[in-house]
Every structure is written in C-alpha cells, then in structure tokens.
Amino acid sequence: MNPSAPSIYDEKPTTGIPVPGQFQAIHPGTWSTGLCDCFSDVSNCCITCWCPCITFGQIAEIVDKGTVSCGASGALYCLISALTACGCLYSCFYRTKMRKQYRLPENPCGDCLLHFCCEACALCQEYRELKHRGFDMSIGWQENMDNQGIAMAPQI
C-alpha cells in the first residue's frame, strides 16, 4: 500500500443541514435543572403553585406518550388530591416513570418522599426537564410529534 495515496480514513467528515425536529441533546443521567430552580420558569411556577393539576396533566400526557390526555390525567390528579390529599402518590409514579425513560438519577430521598414534601418543586422540575428535551408543553404529545415530523399510528 502506498503511504502517500489518499485513504478513505483521510476524508473530512461531511457537513450539511441537520435533520429538523430532533430533540435537544441532554446527557442521560443528569437533570437539566435543579429541584429548587422553580423561578427559572416563573409562569410555570405560578401555575403549578395555584393549580398543580394543570402541570401534572401536561407532564403525564408527555410521559405516557399521548395514551392519556392532559385533561384526564389532570382531572384524576385533582380528584385524588381533593378526596384524599394524596395526589403526591399519583404524581410520584410519573416521576419514576420519567426518570426511567430518560435515565435520570433518583434523589436521595426517593420520588414519593420528594413529591410528598416538595410537590410543587418536583412538578416544576419535571416540567422544565421535558421542556429542555424539546417538548412544547402547551400543545400535548400528538402535536409535539407532528411538529417533530414523527408519524404516529392513530389510537384505536
């Protein structure tokens, strides 16, 4: 083999236009924001403090990949909270599910204890995490997939 001959390994990487609609790259194993960074998104912080069922519904719809609507999840959360004052038990399940989907670390105190003690902060952090991962939380799962150009099978 001639050492001065060009090799396929000498070629420079190709450049081009990135594929549109890709989710923002976040390293697995890290949260994009801290638990107490609620004021980095003041509007969501206010909504979550006064009506956490809205934020929870938005999170649940994205985490469940559109199988349950924002309204249904939020209404169930509201009903559980009103009847038992234990909506945190329902919402901690979604934090666990979200952590597994995105390989995020668990807090030292655990998901349920975190939601029991800091429900609003936990919901705000989950909301911000999904937002940083490229989701527009105000439009729901299906519209996010439409905007990403990902074809989804219709629900039966």
What is the tens place of the pLDDT at every residue in 95-126?
999 999 999 998 878 899 999 999 999 999 99
Q: pTM of the entire structure?
A: 0.76
Number of domains in the chain: 1
Q: Which of 58, 90, 80 is nearest to 71 (CA)?
A: 58
Q: Are 77 and 57 in contact (CB under 8 A)?
A: yes
Residue 38: closest CA among 134, 110, 126: 126
Range of the domain at 46: 32-134
Q: Is residue 3 part of a domain?
A: no
Is there a domain that residue 68 lies in?
yes
Report whether 33 contacts 40 (CB < 8 A). yes
Q: Which two tokens stand for residue 40?
A: 């980095």
pLDDT in tens, 69-90: 999 999 999 999 999 999 999 9
